[in-house]
Amino acid sequence: MIEENKIREVVKEVISDELKSMLRDVSYRIGVLEDLKKENGRVHTSDLNLSTHFIDGYIFEDDSPTVGSVSWTDVQIAYQGEVHEVSDGDTEDKYLYWELVSPGVMQTSNDKPTLGGDDVLVGVNDDGTFEITMVSGKLTPGESLVDESVHENELANDAVSTAKLVDGAVKTGKLDDESVSSDKLAVDSVSTAKIVDEAVKSGKIGDGEVEEGKLNMATHFLF
């Protein structure tokens, strides 16, 4: 009886998934046919045969099913005249993308993907907030830029503020010789430990600057 119940549950789950997929596709195509019936002149992604990716009928939810994750349902991606139904799913990964070799699956990765000419970045999961990149008119999230694609010429003058520098990011090798002037040193910023032994010569001591209390009286003097 227990084994029979398990089989029933598995069959029920398979039928549920298959029916859900079929109903979603039927719903999408009924909508297309309804528009054609109205003769409203609307062109659908299924009518296009372009080497450009289009996304249609999609729902993305933030922090779903858990905080930091995003989920998707009813995603249809049209490419070169074919509409591909993408299986529902969710992920905690950073990048969501689509590949022609696996058209029914939403690919995900925490590493920035290397996409071929037939592939496309769908969007970015920003700690549970989905930022879509396939829809025109949307701002492009910084994570979608190609690594090392922003060069010096793309940065405006004074664009990098102090707040944007990581602590300890400016190393000695990045400082020009003699570039730190005295007015850049805070008062009392040079401690004894930072002075090289025997670095203070007599020429650096002003007349009458050494008080009697600073002299080592155990020193022998020859007259």
Q: pLDDT per residue over 51-86, tens digit each?
A: 789 898 899 999 999 999 999 999 999 998 899 999
CB 78 within 8 A of CB 53: yes
| 4 has a pLDDT exceeding 90 | no
Average of pLDDT values for 136-156? 75
Strand partners, 109: 95
The SS3 of residue 17 is: helix
Average of pLDDT values for 118-129? 95
CB 143 within 8 A of CB 130: no
| 101 has a pLDDT exceeding 90 | yes
pLDDT of residue 23: 55
Q: What is the pLDDT of residues 10-21, one digit of tens each?
A: 666 656 665 555
What DSSP letter does each residue of 142-185 carry, written as one string?
GGGSPTT---GGGSPTT-S-GGGSPTT-S-GGGSPTT-S-GGGS
pLDDT of residue 84: 94
pLDDT of residue 125: 96
| 24 has a pLDDT exceeding 70 | no
CB 91 within 8 A of CB 109: no
pLDDT of residue 72: 97
pTM of the model: 0.56
Average of pLDDT values for 153-175? 83
pLDDT of residue 126: 94
